[in-house]
Every structure is written in structure tokens, then in C-alpha cells.
């Protein structure tokens, strides 16, 4: 008999979902989430309060709905990636929504309370490997990809991840298929087959995932950090798994990995270790019945829950309290100060690390960062704990202070560390501050009280993990709210942050010649030494620094949450409330979500931007410098849940602000004032210029971003890549930026959108303030740059070049098939095609051919010119670029067969799935705003585009789709293939296979023309790559790293040859473009 019980789950007053906690007889605990009410609608019979019981017996009647995937805000960052780079070629296949149906996709997530900490010592990565293998069929549903086929057919998706102590699986699907999907999914935990013939393929997928993340500095630092743990401690493990740890070494040792996978599953995939969260527009009673019927069969092995309590003082080792230096992949200088604290999970009601991170990471007056920036030693700072498994687990809690250093800061790193220690000393002297704590508490409570809805699949994923950590009443709040001020707990935590307990890590390309040690798994270059005695002595008696003090009271915290009365008629879409030669303003009052929030977007268009690479760089510099100028004054707005963002667009810049409407005018006026009175010191200009140059470099280190840059530089008549911008910025001086900003403000066309909790008259005041403050004059429309796309000739055209990171094996190919200027109907047809293509692409290229971990099709809308693409990230050590391209071409033939044998019934099901996706309601106001703003940015103003697409989809026939695909993929194709070749690619791989060399290390490196590379994205620790090409070993590498630090070498693509039978070789991009025709300026039409 199932043991069922109910508990009250504390929830936000704005949360209209109903909850019930049940525990099955096998020990599995489930949270049932009934999500039947339209967003913004209050249930008549439910009292919404922080805690309480809801009526579970209500009969629910609603139409079938679908998912609520948030639209990506691909607006780049303040590091030099412009929105033009990110959005001018927007993938057209988006899970966009309109408020027609009353529900979202249903979703479920299951967390197994075991992860990589439980890996056996002789099989590193086994938990991650099992996460992959359980999806390879079950006794009830034996086909290997049956679940993926079912999910994709009905508009859903699925994923999984392995952490230190938890493994999470999740999926989403249309509501009417949710019960069957639950049954199919549950079989992976009841009776997975773990097929022996799937082992080889999935271990390659695990290895490919590892190879993809090999260039990421964050993972490199994490693995280096693992070497400092006590011997035998689970944090000292290699948790990713790869071919070496899961195939080659076990084979050498006679280990049966298949048998050990089965044993691991029986030992750890037990019902009483599992927590389940399910969300759907079903009644709680229905969900309870389904969960009982389906998940009661999950076995319970009766073993004690895995515990790591015996592992204490994780990093209390001589190797931890040292000074480390590390050579990064990126061009970046960083200081990382790390403390190891006891597990803090028992203090979740107080959250001492959040409190300390708030103070040490503050950027306002009196903060560590404000003082470091004043001295021009730092341009960024992060402090705290990321709350992921590696930094916060049952054995240990890590607290970090990470400083992004300027070159001058790196030279004064002792002084930088001293300032951090002085601030900590000040905190200890003053003791915990109740005022600061209660201010943080208020901000978190307001955010929770007016919490936006989140995507169901993300929501259940987070909740099912919380169920492993908190009591039922705090499943939704345990990781968010600060429940109580406890001076003793706060003091104990901050007292542990002493200089003698810190591990110090310096990261810089300048250390290339000083790092003889190699971390074995990621091959990271590093060195380790004692912390200088004179440093230790200086830190024993720290003098008071009068420039450091606690933050002052935050004036940006909202206090008025009144919903505004409307002063114009409500409308379904934004309406023009101002249209003049100077400005156009769109407005829509929120009538659905009923929250005291708003979004304000303004696009400032200028004829100065876009015509030359210098103009684009000047805009990037301005935005970065503006962000630095605003840090001290606007940081309070940021922590008070007000968001501001500057975005470089093709014709100018975009200002975006959002949050509680009460204080948005104050933030907006502050930003505009700083723009109007813009100035910058020579020291700040030089520091930001150096940082921006490095961010351009870091951008193209990522082969996927490099491929995208090159593709758009070929397709667009005028397009400046990160390489172009890096080259153009050399001679620019402070006076150039000041002159640019002055001229930029004089002539502008301003277009804006105000949406949310404002009246029409209040919306107009934003435009009035901006235009009035700038005293700008109108710009004739014909002076603004217009985007034009070039027509790819018929046939195959290949641009092949070496990836810039010499030690990265990752190759990326994007095969793009261009169509014609688009309208809503053609766009909908292409979206349908790509939706049909997704699962076969994954199955053929990843599962069967094992090309790589990342394979996907995309629907492309490049400034109104349509097309579709297939992208593969593979490893050059496994496949040559020509082999990979041939397999991608073979996939097109395979997919052609899929279409030819598709039944009308299956076609209709896919059409309905896409229509359902488009009918899903927005989860929060931001999704609706993003969709409306996109129509303003692209100047189509088709706010009803979704309705038009749905109408078009309902008229399509299977034959039309088959004919369109045949034409564009085969009979009249215009193919552009962009290929970035990783280290070990093409010729090298061929030589190895033919036996000319025995190992990759035996090859003599080539002598490339250019040493290093350039880039764009300054985001910390992504999938980045290293320096240059194939050079002589240590001496050449040191030279290259030195170049990274100074950024003085011009970079250019090193083109690789294309055989005549493959297609036209684009060896000279400029010459190739010269012979192309340009499409007229195009916007998607009705």
C-alpha cells in the first residue's frame, strides 16, 4: 500500500499553481504541480498566501497546451559582441507563444540522489556514462531512440545532467501526451536495457562532450582545484569521463564496463534516493494517480542513502594553501581567492555565503571593486558561491573572490589581495550588519512575492533538486529566501575568511613560460609555489582602509506596487503613441500578468554606425566605458532586481531596462544623464580598450562563433567581424571616442517600446526626457544604413580554414542552404521542415555516425532572406573535415527518404505540434515584450505574426514540403559551407590512419602565417579555445601567449584547400563577395 501524505508548500502569492507532496510505497517522493489556471487569473476558491492548503478537488477543464520556453535574448554583452552579431541572423525556429490557449507544456524532472562522487576509483566518469546509457531503450520500449522520437513528434524536448551528488533527468511535452511520455520515461528508471551494443556509441558521446568542454577555462580551473583536495576525497576525482577513463584504461585492466554499469545502477538508482516533480494542467488527483501507477514500479534496493559525511576538511592540505599560476585558454588576467568552509546547507535559512558574497561582490561606493577600479587595477569582480555541486556539497562549501585584473592590476596583485583582506577585516571588526542583511532579505522577498513564471521544464528541474535538500514546506523557497538573521552563524562564516586559510590562483597568458606542470586530464599548464613570507607577514596586521565601508541604503528598492489605472483603451498589440521625424514610440499596458513591473526599450539609430569597422569599435568602446562609468551608481539598481543592458545594433545602440516600475524612471534618468555627460579618463580608456581587444580575441577562439562570424561576413554585404574590429581598433584614442559620442548624440532617430505597468502619459515622458537631454536632431531615414544580403550562386561553395586554438581538436561545420526573400508563409514552412529534421538529425549524425555531441538543424532568417542549416561540432582527431561534410550530405539523403515515406497522419501530427508551440501562452511579460521588440527591431511591425504563421501552417500539404526540400537541398541548391578545422584535422588525421605516423605527437608542426587569434565575447569561461595554429612547441607557444597578453599581432584566417570535386573553394572571401548579386533590402512580409 502506498504511503501518501499531504504537506503545505510555501509559495509566492503570485503563484497560482497548486501543489501536493506524496511519498510512494517504494520511497520515491513526488511533488505534484497542477497548473491549470491562465497566468494572471486568480482562482475564486483559493486563498493565495505564503503558506496554505488549496482546493484539490476542483474539476479542471482546459484546452490542450504546450511549452513555455523562454525566448533567448541574444543581445550579446558589454564585451564587444553586438546584437547585430547575435541577431542579424536570428534562428527563425523559436518556441514563441501567444495567449490563446490556457496552458503550457507539461513537464517532469527526476533527481537521483547520487552523482560523480560515487564513481568507483577505477572508472572515473561512470555516473555520467550511466546517465547517457539509461536512455538507450527499456524492456517495455526497447527501441534505442523511441523516447526521443515520441517527444520530438509532440513538440517536446528532454535532457539530463550529472553533478557531484545528484543526477537529474527532465522532459517536456504537450499535455495530452504527458501520461504516455511519463510511462515511457519512467522505464529508464524501472528496467533500462543498458545494451552492450550501445556502449561504444555512448562512450564516444561522453568523450565528445568532454572534448567540447576541454577549452573552457572554468572547467580547467575546477579540475586543477580538484588536485588540491585530500587524497581519496571524492572532490579529487575526474568526473567527466572520456575514452581514456571509460574505455582504454578499463580494457587494459580487464574491467567489464558493461557489468559495472549494471552494478552501479542497481546500487544507486533506487526509488528511495529519488525525488520527482511533475507539472501539468491536470488535477492533482489525476497526477497523483498517474505517478502512483507509473513510478511505483521503480525498484528500491533497501540500502542506506549514500553519505559522504566522513569526508571532513576537504582542502585542509599543504597543497591548498599555496600560490598557483595558470595559463588560460582565453586572453584574460584573473585573481581567484578561494576558501574552503564546512558544508553550509544546514544554514540555508540564514544563507551566510549569500550575505558575504553580497558584501564582497558589491560594486557601489566603499566596496572592494570601487577602490580597485579607482586605482585602475580591476574591471570586474565576483564573490560568493555558485551553489552548484562542486562548490557546495555535503563535504565542503567553497567561497570565491574572483577579480578581473587589468595589466596594471596584475602587476599590483599583492596590493589587490591586501584590499580584499582589508575589507574582510573591516567586516570582522564591525560584526554582521542587521541593516544590510534585512535589506538583502527585503529584495529577495520582493522578487519572490512578484515572481515571474518560469519555463515548466526548468521549474521542475530546479524543484526536484530542492527536494533533495530542503523540507517539503521549503521546496520552492529554500534556495531563494533568507528566513532569519542569525548573528552567530554569519560571524562564524566571515571569521573563516582569513588570509592564512586562502588558496590563491593567478590566471594570465603572461605565465606561459613559468608554468611547467600539467594537470593530467585537461592538460592545463600551471605552477605552484609557497605564498611569499613577506605577504603573509603583511596580512597578519592589516591597517584600516578608510576608503572601504559597508554599502549605504539602497535608493532603488521599490516601495510602490500599485497597479496603474489605464488612460487609453486596452489593446492586444503595441500601438504608436508618438510618430515624428525625431521619434516613434510604441506602448502597451499590461492587462494579463498584473504585476508592478515594466519594460522600457529604446533604439538610438545613427548614420555614424556600421559603415566602417572603426565606427563599430567606437560604439563598442562607448558602451563598455558607459557601463564602467555607471557601475558605482547603478549597481544598487542591479541588486534591487532592476535590469539594465546596452546593446550594439547594426544602426546604433539599444537601451533596455526592466523591473519594478516604481524605480525605473530613476534608473532611466540616471543612465541618460551619464550618456549626456559622458567623459572618460585616459587610464580607463586604455584599460577598457585592452579588455575589449582581448574579448574580440576570445570570441573567435570559439570555433562555433568563428564559423558564424565568417558565414555572416560572406552573406551580408557589409559585415564587420571580430577580426575586422580587432584590427581597426589599434589607432583609436580617447579623443576619438569622445568625438564619436558627441556626434552620435547630435543626430538620432529614436524608436522605443514601453510596456507594462505604466500609463500612456507616463510612457511618453521617457521619450521626452531622452530627446530633451540629448538635444538631438532628426535623421532622415535614407541616411541610416540598410542591411543587404548577398545571393549565394547555385552549387556548393566551401570556406575552409584552421581554428585559431592550436591545441583544440574541435572542428565545426555549418552547411547553409539559402532560399529567397521571405514572407510569413515561407518562414512557417521552413520552421516546419526544421522541426521535422531535428530528431532524424540527432539520430543519424550523433547516435549512428557518432560525428559529435552537438548536431542540430536551424531555420535561418538573415535580414529577411530565408534558409536552413545543419551544424556539427566534431573532433578532428576522429573525423577529417571532408568525412564529416560527406556524412552531413548523406544525412540530407536520409532525411529525404524520411519525408518520402512520411504518412499524412504523421505530417498532420507534426503540423499540429508546431501550431501548439505557437499557441502557448507567455510565461511572463518579458516574453511578450521580447516578441514585440523583435518586430520593431526588424521593422516589420508584424505583431500578429504568430496568428499569420498558424493560418499558413494549417494550409500546408506534405507534397509542398517535400517539393520545397527537394528543390533547396538538391535540384536548385545554393549551399554555403563554413568549416573551422580543429587541431589534428584533415591532412593530419589522414596521415595517422595511413600509418605514416604512429602518434599525433610525432607530427612536425606546420609553420602558419599568423601566430595567434582574435575574439569577441568577454563572458567568463565558456566554450573557448586557446592561441594559434601549429607552431613549434614550448618556445613558439610562449611567444604566442606573450602576444595574447599584448594583443599586438594582426590576425587573419589561415585558409585550407578544398578539392575541386567538393565544390567551389572560397579561398578569398573579399574576391568571392565581389562577384555576388545583392538581394534588395528585405523584411519578412505578410
Q: Which of 58, 70, 131, 519 is catalytic?
A: 131
CB 767 within 8 A of CB 752: yes
SS3 978: strand
Dihedrals phi, psi of 398, to nearest 5 degrees: -100, 135
Instruction: Show the cell assigned to 995.
Output: 600509418
C-beta separation of 198 from 130 below 8 A:
no
Distance between CA 65 and CA 174 in Å, rounded? 6
Interatomic CA distance for residues 918 and 949, integer angstroms: 9
377 neighbors 405 (Cβ within 8 angstroms)? yes
What are the cell numbers at 814?
555549418
Cβ-contact 1005, 1032 below 8 angstroms:
yes
Evaluate whether 553 touches 365 at the Cβ level (below 8 Å): no
Q: Would strands 854-862 and 89-91 be described as parallel, antiparallel, or unpaired?
A: antiparallel
Opening angle at CA 95, ends 17 and 153, nearest 5: 95
**Rounded to whole angstroms, how far apart are CA atoms 518 and 500?**
26
Strand segments, DSSP code E, in 928-982 are 974-981
Residue 245 carries which DSSP code?
Answer: I
| Helices (runs of H) and strands (runs of E) counted in the chain | 34, 27
Contact between 657 and 643 under an 8 Å Cβ cutoff? The reply is: yes
Element (H, E) at 517: strand 517-518
Q: Kindly write down the DSSP assignment for every residue of 604-650, as one continuous string.
A: EE-TTSSSSHHHHHHHHHHHHHHHHHHHHHHHHHHHTT-EEEEEEET
For the chain, what's the residue count? 1086
C-alpha cell belonging to residue 1084: 519578412
The dihedral formed by the CA atoms of 741, 744, 745 and 749, expressed in degrees to the nearest 10: -150
Contact predicate 238/125, CB 8 Å = yes
Question: Residue 921's Cα: distance from chain center in Å?
Answer: 23
- Half-sphere CA count of 163, side-chain side, radius 13 A: 18
Q: Which three cell numbers stand for residue 304?
A: 542506506
Q: Are 866 and 819 in contact (CB under 8 A)?
A: yes
Tell me how crowded residue 103 is: count the other CB atoms within 10 A of its CB. Answer: 27
Please state, in angstroms and rounded to a whole number, the distance separating the CA atoms of residues 414 and 1032: 34
Q: How many CB atoms lie within 10 A of CB 408?
A: 16
Q: Are strands 378-384 and 392-393 parallel, antiparallel or unpaired?
A: unpaired
Q: How far apart are CA 451 and CA 445, in angstroms?
A: 9
Which residue spans within 370-480 are E strands per DSSP?
Answer: 378-384, 392-393, 396-405
Residue 403, strand partner residues: 335, 381
Give the residue among 975, 1016, 961 at the shortest CA–CA distance from 723.
Answer: 1016
Cβ 860 vs Cβ 869: under 8 Å: yes
Q: Are 741 and 727 in contact (CB under 8 A)?
A: no
What is the C-alpha to C-alpha distance for residues 1001 and 35, in angstroms, rounded to an integer?
58
Alpha-carbon distance of 888 to 814, in angstroms, equals 10
Establish whether 131 is a catalytic residue: yes
Burial label for 1063, CB within 10 Å (0-12, 13-18, 19+), is: middle
Contact predicate 863/1082, CB 8 Å: yes
Question: Which amino acids are annotated catalytic?
Answer: 131
Amino acid at each position: 500500500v502506498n504511503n501518501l501524505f499531504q504537506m503545505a508548500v510555501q509559495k509566492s502569492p503570485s503563484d497560482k499553481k497548486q501543489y501536493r507532496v506524496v511519498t510512494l510505497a517504494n520511497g520515491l517522493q513526488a511533488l505534484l504541480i497542477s497548473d491549470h489556471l491562465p497566468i494572471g487569473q486568480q482562482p475564486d476558491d483559493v486563498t493565495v498566501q505564503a503558506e496554505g492548503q488549496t482546493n484539490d478537488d476542483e474539476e479542471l477543464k482546459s484546452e490542450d497546451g504546450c511549452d513555455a520556453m523562454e525566448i533567448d535574448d541574444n543581445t550579446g554583452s558589454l564585451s564587444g559582441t553586438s546584437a547585430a552579431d547575435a541577431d542579424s541572423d536570428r534562428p527563425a525556429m523559436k518556441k514563441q507563444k501567444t495567449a490563446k490557449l490556457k496552458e503550457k507544456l507539461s513537464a517532469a524532472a527526476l533527481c537521483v540522489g547520487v552523482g560523480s562522487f560515487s564513481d568507483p576509483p577505477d572508472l572515473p566518469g561512470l555516473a555520467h556514462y550511466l546517465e547517457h546509457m539509461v536512455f538507450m531503450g527499456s524492456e517495455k520500449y526497447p527501441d534505442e531512440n523511441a523516447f526521443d522520437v515520441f517527444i520530438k513528434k509532440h513538440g517536446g524536448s528532454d535532457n539530463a545532467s550529472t553533478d557531484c551528488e545528484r543526477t537529474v533527468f527532465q522532459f517536456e511535452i504537450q499535455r495530452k501526451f504527458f501520461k504516455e511520455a511519463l510511462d515511457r520515461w519512467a522505464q529508464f528508471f524501472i528496467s533500462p536495457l543498458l545494451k552492450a551494443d550501445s556502449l561504444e556509441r555512448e562512450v564516444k558521446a561522453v568523450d565528445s562532450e568532454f572534448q567540447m568542454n576541454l577549452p573552457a577555462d572554468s572547467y580547467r580551473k575546477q579540475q586543477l582545484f580538484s588536485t588540491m583536495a585530500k587524497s581519496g576525497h571524492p572532490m579529487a576525482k575526474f568526473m567527466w569521463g572520456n575514452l581514456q577513463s571509460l574505455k582504454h584504461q578499463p580494457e587494459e585492466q580487464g574491467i567489464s564496463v558493461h557489468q559495472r554499469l549494471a552494478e552501479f545502477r542497481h546500487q544507486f538508482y533506487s526509488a528511495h534516493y529519488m525525488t520527482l516533480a511533475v507539472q501539468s494542467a491536470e488535477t492533482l488527483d489525476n497526477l497523483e494517480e498517474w505517478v502512483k501507477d507509473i513510478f511505483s514500479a521503480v525498484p528500491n534496493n533497501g540500502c542506506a542513502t549514500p553519505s559522504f559525511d566522513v569526508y571532513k576538511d576537504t582542502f585542509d592540505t599543504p597543497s591548498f594553501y599555496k600560490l598557483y599560476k595558470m595559463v588560460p585558454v582565453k586572453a584574460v588576467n584573473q585573481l581567484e581567492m578561494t576558501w574552503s568552509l564546512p558544508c553550509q546547507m544546514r544554514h540555508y535559512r540564514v544563507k551566510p555565503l549569500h550575505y558575504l558574497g553580497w558584501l564582497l561582490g558589491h560594486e557601489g561606493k566603499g566596496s572592494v571593486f570601487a577602490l580597485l577600479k579607482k586605482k585602475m587595477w580591476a574591471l570586474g569582480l565576483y564573490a560568493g558561491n555558485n551553489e552548484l555541486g562542486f562548490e557546495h556539497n555535503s563535504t565542503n562549501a567553497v567561497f570565491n573572490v574572483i577579480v578581473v585584473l587589468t595589466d596594471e592590476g596584475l602587476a599590483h596583485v599583492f596590493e589587490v589581495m591586501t584590499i580584499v583582506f582589508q575589507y574582510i577585516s573591516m567586516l570582522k571588526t564591525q560584526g554582521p550588519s542587521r541593516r544590510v542583511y534585512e535589506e538583502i532579505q527585503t529584495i529577495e522577498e520582493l522578487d519572490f512575492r512578484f515572481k515571474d513564471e518560469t519555463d515548466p521544464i526548468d521549474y521542475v528541474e530546479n524543484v526536484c533538486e530542492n527536494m533533495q535538500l530542503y523540507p517539503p514546506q521549503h521546496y520552492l523557497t529554500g534556495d531563494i529566501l533568507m528566513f532569519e538573521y542569525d548573528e552567530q552563524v554569519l560571524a562564524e562564516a566571515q571569521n573563516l575568511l582569513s588570509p592564512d586559510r586562502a588558496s590563491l590562483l593567478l590566471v594570465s597568458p603572461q605565465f606561459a613560460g613559468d608554468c611547467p606542470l600539467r594537470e593530467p586530464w585537461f592538460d592545463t599548464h600551471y605552477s605552484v609555489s609557497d605564498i611569499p613570507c613577506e605577504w603573509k607577514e603583511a596580512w597578519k596586521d592589516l591597517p584600516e582602509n578608510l576608503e572601504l565601508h559597508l554599502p549605504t541604503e539602497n535608493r532603488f528598492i521599490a516601495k510602490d506596487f500599485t497597479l496603474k489605472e489605464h488612460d487609453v483603451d486596452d489593446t492586444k498589440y503595441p500601438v504608436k503613441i508618438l510618430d515624428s521625424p525625431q521619434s516613434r514610440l510604441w506602448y502597451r499596458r499590461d492587462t494579463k500578468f498584473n504585476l508592478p513591473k515594466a519594460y522600457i526599450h529604446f533604439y538610438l539609430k545613427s548614420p555614424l554606425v556600421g559603415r566602417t569597422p572603426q565606427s563599430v569599435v567606437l560604439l563598442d568602446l562607448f558602451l563598455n566605458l558607459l557601463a564602467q562609468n555607471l557601475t558605482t551608481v547603478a549597481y544598487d539598481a542591479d541588486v534591487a532586481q532592476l535590469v539594465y543592458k546596452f546593446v550594439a545594433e547594426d544602426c546604433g545602440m539599444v537601451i533596455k531596462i526592466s523591473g519594478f516600475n516604481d524605480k525605473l524612471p530613476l534608473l532611466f534618468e540616471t543612465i541618460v544623464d551619464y550618456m549626456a555627460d559622458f567623459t572618460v579618463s585616459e587610464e580607463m580608456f586604455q584599460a577598457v580598450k585592452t579588455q575589449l581587444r582581448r574579448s574580440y580575441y576570445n570570441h573567435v577562439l570559439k570555433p562555433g562563433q568563428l564559423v558564424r562570424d565568417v558565414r555572416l561576413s560572406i552573406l551580408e554585404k557589409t559585415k564587420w567581424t571580430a577580426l575586422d574590429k580587432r584590427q581597426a581598433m589599434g589607432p583609436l584614442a580617447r579623443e576619438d571616442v569622445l568625438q564619436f559620442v558627441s556626434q552620435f548624440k547630435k543626430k538620432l532617430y529614436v524608436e522605443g517600446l514601453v510596456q507594462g505597468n505604466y500609463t500612456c502619459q507616463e510612457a511618453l515622458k521617457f521619450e521626452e526626457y531622452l530627446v530633451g537631454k540629448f538635444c538631438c536632431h532628426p535623421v532622415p531615414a535614407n541616411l541610416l544604413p540598410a542591411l543587404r544580403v548577398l545571393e549565394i550562386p547555385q552549387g556548393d561553395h566551401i570556406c575552409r580554414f584552421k581554428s585559431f586554438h592550436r591545441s583544440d581538436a574541435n572542428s565545426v561545420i555549418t552547411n547553409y542552404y539559402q532560399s529567397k526573400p521571405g514572407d510569413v508563409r515561407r518562414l512557417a514552412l521552413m520552421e516546419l521542415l526544421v522541426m521535422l529534421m531535428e530528431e532524424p538529425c540527432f539520430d543519424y549524425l550523433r547516435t549512428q555516425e557518432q560525428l559529435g555531441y552537438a548536431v542540430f538543424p536551424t531555420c535561418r532568417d538573415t535580414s529577411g532572406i530565408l534558409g536552413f542549416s545543419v551544424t556539427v561540432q566534431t573532433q578532428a582527431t576522429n573525423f577529417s573535415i571532408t568525412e564529416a561534410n560527406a556524412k552531413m550530405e548523406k544525412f540530407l539523403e536520409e532525411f529525404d527518404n524520411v519525408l518520402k515515406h512520411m504518412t499524412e497522419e504523421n505530417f498532420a501530427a507534426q503540423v499540429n505540434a508546431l501550431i501548439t508551440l505557437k499557441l502557448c501562452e507567455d510565461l511572463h511579460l518579458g516574453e511578450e515584450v521580447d516578441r514585440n521588440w523583435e518586430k520593431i527591431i526588424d521593422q516589420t511591425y508584424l505583431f500578429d505574426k504568430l496568428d499569420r504563421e498558424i493560418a499558413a501552417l494549417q494550409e500546408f500539404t506534405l507534397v509542398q514540403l517535400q517539393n520545397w526540400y527537394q528543390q533547396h537541398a538538391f535540384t536548385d541548391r545554393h549551399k554555403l559551407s563554413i568549416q573551422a578545422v580543429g587541431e589534428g584535422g584533415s591532412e593530419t588525421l589522414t596521415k595517422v590512419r595511413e600509418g605514416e605516423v604512429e602518434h599525433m605527437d610525432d607530427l612536425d608542426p606546420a609553420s602558419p602565417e599568423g601566430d595567434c587569434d582574435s575574439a569577441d565575447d568577454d563572458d567568463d569561461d565558456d566554450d573557448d579555445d586557446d592561441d594559434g595554429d601549429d607552431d613549434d612547441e614550448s618556445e613558439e607557444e610562449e611567444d604566442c601567449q606573450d602576444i595574447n597578453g599584448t594583443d599586438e599581432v594582426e590576425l587573419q584566417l589561415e585558409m585550407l584547400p578544398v578539392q575541386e570535386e567538393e565544390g567551389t573553394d572560397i579561398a578569398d572571401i573579399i574576391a568571392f563577395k565581389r562577384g555576388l548579386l545583392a538581394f534588395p533590402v528585405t523584411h519578412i512580409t505578410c
